[in-house]
Amino acid sequence: MLLVIDVGNTNTVIGVFDGDSLVSNWRVVTLPERTSDEYGVLIQNLYHSSKINSRDMKDIIVSCVVPPMVGIIDDLCEKYFEIKPLYVEPGIKTGMPIYYDNPKEVGADRIVNAVAAYHRKKGAHIIVDFGTATTFDYINESGEYMGGVIAPGLMTSSEALFAKASRLFKVELVRPKNVIGKNTINSLQSGIILGYVDMVDGLVNRITEEAGGDPWVIATGGLAELIAGESKTIKEVDNFLTLEGLKVIYYLNRT
């Protein structure tokens, strides 16, 4: 079995593959102040609930955009699995040319998503990943990573609004019945949800206009379902895109 770990700024997503099949997955909060032992106990409990034995893990691959977590993940993998993990980092085989001014600046998760999207469906893609930041990545028809856009995440921008506006308060992130709100809750929901949808669609349209063609637009990340349901440009949601990409990159490097 293969253990894949995607360490994001807000959440860490963990998956277990048996061959090509994703047999289990979990999402936990990323906390650099936790020790490797605390993460070890957490993962052991998750394994126990899914009836998976850590001894069945043959290898581990990690993408990480939180530098303080690297040492923790190293200790975790070596202490609890006796495995030195493979990291998605400069020098690793991805099978995808990176046309960025400085390829080292591209987050590992963005590369992993791009590899996964092109591997499963050849052709041009725009990948929208809803995380702490919302990223838009463009892959051309030839499977080359051409760059993208980084915008504030939905939760990140919402939390900033609530923190700075003393008379506004947190609301449930659901679509309001009407665009024109008749109360503060609905007005906030309209501005946050529908405003964000229009931002996403606007950027996708701008990327498409600049790049040309008809790229396949796929969304992933914690809030992908919410935004995709209102979007006019998102064609598919895949919550496991990053995990699939890690598996693909693993096989490119270990076999």
- CA gap 102, 198 in Å, rounded: 30
Return phi, psi of residue 192, to 5°. -75, -55
| Sequence-ordered list of residues with C-beta below 8 angstroms from that of 171, at least 6 positions apart, any chain | 185, 188, 189, 192
Burial of 114 (0-12, 13-18, 19+ CB in 10 A): buried
The DSSP output letter for 98 is B
- CA gap 127, 110 in Å, rounded: 9
The helix or strand, by DSSP H or E, that contains position 127, with its residue range, turns out to be: strand 125-130
Which active-site residues does the annotation give? 109
